[in-house]
Amino acid sequence: MHTDKWRLQVDDEFGAAHQLRNYGGKCEQLHGHNFKVRVEVGGNRLDLETGLLLDFKVLKSMLKKELSSLDHKFLNDLPEFKDMNPSSENIAALVYRKLKDEVQSHGVTLNWVMVAEKKGSRAFYGEE
Q: How confident is the model over 43-97, as pLDDT tens digits?
A: 999 999 999 999 999 999 999 999 999 999 999 999 999 999 999 999 999 999 9
Residue 53 in domain? yes
Q: Can you give the CATH number for the domain in which 43 is found?
A: 3.30.479.10
Inside any domain, residue 17: yes
What are the tens digits of pLDDT across the range 8-47?
A: 999 999 999 999 999 989 999 999 999 999 999 999 999 9
Range of the domain at 61: 6-125
Which is nearest to 102 in space by CA: 26, 41, 25, 52?
41
Task: Tell me the pLDDT band of 1, cut-offs 50, 70 and 90.
Answer: low
Number of domains the chain is built from: 1
Residue at 35 is within a domain = yes
For residue 111, give the nearest of 92, 90, 125, 93 by alpha carbon.
125
Q: Select from 15, 17, 37, 47 the least CA-distant residue to 99.
A: 37
**Considering the domain boundaries, does residue 1 fall inside one?**
no
With left for phi above 0 and alpha for psi between -120 and 50, is residue 63 left, alpha or beta?
Answer: alpha
* pLDDT tier, 3 (very low <50, low <70, confident <90, very high otherwise): confident
